[in-house]
A and B are shown apart, each in its own frame.
Chain A
Amino acid sequence: MSADNEARASRLMRGILDACLLALTSERDRYGYELAAALHDAGLLTVKEGSIYPLLSRLERRGLLESYRTPATGAPPRRYYRITAAGQRELASARTVWREVAGGVDATIGRSEHDPEDITHG
């Protein structure tokens, strides 16, 4: 991916990454590295791993996530994140918004991709 495209993808992700983190923690409690790996596995390669931590802190401060520390076997303790009831509500709301926006954008971009005349001639 070119630098310009990467920057665009990064800007797009900025507004929805919190919902992605909420979605992943709604499946099960996860720790930071696990969340980053899950985003990567989902194809969100432009998300810088470190960028999830400020976001996790904000989500926790807003009461959408909570964290707890568990000892890992043969390793230092590990911090897990768990979604709260408020986080579940926020996720449902984010999903609705995302579907509307993504649907609208896809319809617009997809239409011009298949038939540029549709856009130019209304």
Chain B
Amino acid sequence: MAEHPAHAAEIDEAVRKANSHWLKSGLPRAQRRRKAEELTDHLDAAVADGRHVSDVVGNDIVAFASEWAQADRERNWVEAALFLVANLTLWVGLLALLGPLIDGRERSGMPADVALAVELAIVAAFAVWLVRWFRAQLSKQLAVVLYCLITATYLASILVVVRPIGQRDLDLELSPVVVGVLIAVGLAAQGLSIWRKRTDRT
């Protein structure tokens, strides 16, 4: 470990940021632990040799962490597929199930503006996730611009598209069996994804 407290804190902070990015990227716990251990070991040795943390990871720790995580991309495609299946099926199933509750009326359906706002939020979340996915190929500035664009587009679409629709009904008529299957598939995909992240597979 770095002997100087300031260096130790700097190393801890760099590893914490990298680890946080790997966690958000969906890297399995075993891989996160392994990478964090290896990075700490390297930074300790580099600092002991009189170099700075930035000499190792550069000035953009997220870009560094993202590039390293992408080296395991083969496995992450599986995570991506599970993520898509889990979210699409769960959201559609839950919208169909909870529509009448949100609507406040007895029949099936939910307010069109609420449904559209939720759907746009899903699209926006997916866009954010895509930017994070390709973070290693983007400069920090470009990533910030893209995040701002996504947020601005979402807010603009709420004002321009969603608000004028108002409280008209948007029926999402699915049979209870279909809704049940969608939610079950979504939960299974989500469970499988969590299990993969928690299982040691190095």
- What residues make up the interface of A, taking CB atoms closer than 8 Å to B? 31-33, 36-37, 48-51, 53-55, 57-58, 61, 72, 75-79
Residue pair A61, B74 in contact (C-beta under 8 Å): yes
CB distance from B201 to the nearest CB of A (A): 12
Are A54 and B41 in touch, CB under 8 angstroms? no
| B interface majority secondary structure | helix
Q: Provide the residues of chain A in CB contact with B71, threshold 8 Å.
A: 53-55, 57-58, 61
Answer yes or no: B45 CB below 8 A from chain A CBs. Answer: yes
**On chain B, which size bracket covers the interface?**
20 to 34
**In whole angstroms, how far apart are the Cα atoms of A53 and B57 in the complex?**
10
For the complex, is B12 an interface residue (Cβ under 8 Å from A)? Answer: no
Main secondary structure of the interface of A (DSSP, over half): helix
A50 touches B37 (CB 8 A): no
- Asked whether any CB of chain A lies closer than 8 Å to the CB of B129, the reply is no
Q: Is the CB of B46 within 8 A of A49?
A: yes
Among the stretches B62-70, B92-100, B171-179, B184-192, the one at the interface with A is B62-70
**Once bound together, how far apart are the Cα atoms of A54 and B136, in whole Å?**
11
Of chain A, the residue at the smallest CB distance from B70 is A54
Q: How far is the CA of A49 from the CA of B68 in the complex (A)?
A: 12
Q: Which residue of chain B is the closest to A78 with respect to CB atoms?
A: B41
Q: Assess whether B56 is interfacial by the CB under 8 Å rule.
A: yes
CA A111 – CA B64 in complex, angstroms? 40
Q: Are A76 and B57 in contact (CB under 8 A)?
A: no
Contact A33 B72, CB 8 Å, known A50-B64, A54-B67: no
B45:A49 contact, CB within 8 angstroms: no
Q: Contact mask B42-75 → A, CB, 8 Å, 1/0?
A: 1011100100000111100000100110111010
